[in-house]
Structure formats: C-alpha cells, structure tokens
C-alpha cells in the first residue's frame, strides 16, 4: 500500500504536469496504516509498532477529510 501510493501520486502528477496528491493517495495511506496497526495489535502485540503507525493514520484521516471538504463531498455539522 505504501509503495503503491507513490506510483498513484506519480501518475497523477505526470498527468497534471505539476505535483498533485490525489484522493487515492490518502485512501491508500489510511488503508496501509490500518493494515499495519492490525498486524501490530493482533500479530506482534508490539506497542512501538502500534504507536509508530497510529500517528500517520490520524494524519492521513485529517488530510483525507480536508480534501473531501475542499471538494464539497464532506461537510461536518457545526451545531
């Protein structure tokens, strides 16, 4: 997942002729983080691995929500 996201980013950047981080990049980052978290929680039971992959999942989620908000797909309720 983590290697594949760079190929996705490179493809869209070449297509746009400028640096681009497509939506798929953030989805792949989030999926990769959750896959590693699952491995470290249930397979290895390693607290360092859990913590080292927990923060990137928050960053990927934050960036994904920002991108969706920018595209008008996601609008959080402010009540």
Query: pLDDT tens digit string along 44-62?
Result: 888 888 888 888 888 888 8
Q: Within a domain: residue 76?
A: no
Distance CA 4, CA 39 (A): 19
Please check the confidence at residue 41 and state whether its pLDDT lies above 80. Answer: yes
Distance CA 53, CA 34 (A): 8
Number of domains in the chain: 1
Q: Within a domain: residue 79?
A: no
Is residue 26 within 8 Å of 64, Cβ to Cβ? yes
- The two structure tokens encoding residue 26: 């953030």
The model's pTM is 0.73
Q: Within a domain: residue 30?
A: yes
């Amino acid at each position: 997942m983590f290697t594949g996201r760079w190929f996705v980013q490179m493809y869209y950047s070449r297509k746009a002729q400028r640096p681009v981080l497509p939506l798929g990049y953030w989805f792949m980052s989030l999926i990769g983080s959750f896959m590693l978290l699952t491995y470290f929680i249930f397979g290895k039971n390693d607290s360092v691995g859990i913590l080292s992959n927990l923060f990137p999942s928050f960053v990927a989620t934050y960036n994904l929500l920002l991108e969706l908000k920018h595209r008008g797909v996601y609008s959080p309720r402010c009540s």
